[in-house]
Amino acid sequence: MLDKELSKMLSSQVNAEFYSAFSYLAMSASADKMGLKGAAHWLFVQYQEELTHATHMYEYILSRDGDVFFDKIDKPVFDGKTLAAVFDAVLCHERAVTAGINAIATQAMKCFDHATYQFVSWFVSEQVQEESKARDIIDKLKLIKNDTGMLLSLDAQLATRVFVDELAAAKKQ
Ligand code: MG
């Protein structure tokens, strides 16, 4: 059976992933309102991914006979005036998620819970990608500054993102 502290931490992370999803949905709406449909799509895919993260963690807790603790999901708070502000908020948020994931990995090590450590290791790697993706877009937005043509070009690139439940794909391998 899953250690109670680990169950609580994983449950908090389920909540954090739903909060992430909720935040990205709100950010997607902001981008849509800016007329940036590609960025709105990218953020909507991010919303879909976060839902799968929450669901996989929820399933893992139950598969280990742990308890799932439910809490309220906070209202998303971010500056949605510009796409640069939105992606600054994305990076800031993902750094907080990384801290939560790392804390779970540390607790799993302390409990000698190899299964949980292995499960959460996927998320450790995922967070490296999440932060890298956000930084990449922030860097491009810094180069773009106020160039509308370049912004629309980036928007077209963001529109090509395809949703994949990567953890489900990894489990099949
Ligand atoms: Mg996530």
Render pLDDT for 30-58 as a digit per residue (tens, 0 to 9).
Answer: 999 999 999 999 999 999 999 999 999 99
Find the mean pLDDT for residues 99-114.
97
Band (pLDDT 50/70/90 cuts) for residue 6 is very high
173: pLDDT strictly greater than 80: no
Distance, in Å, from the CA atom of 169 to the CA atom of 156, rounded to the nearest integer, reads: 27
Ligand 1 centroid–CA 12 distance in Å is: 12
Give the global pTM. Answer: 0.94
Ligand 1 centroid–CA 53 distance in Å is: 5
Ligand 1 centroid–CA 147 distance in Å is: 31
Ligand 1 centroid–CA 171 distance in Å is: 17
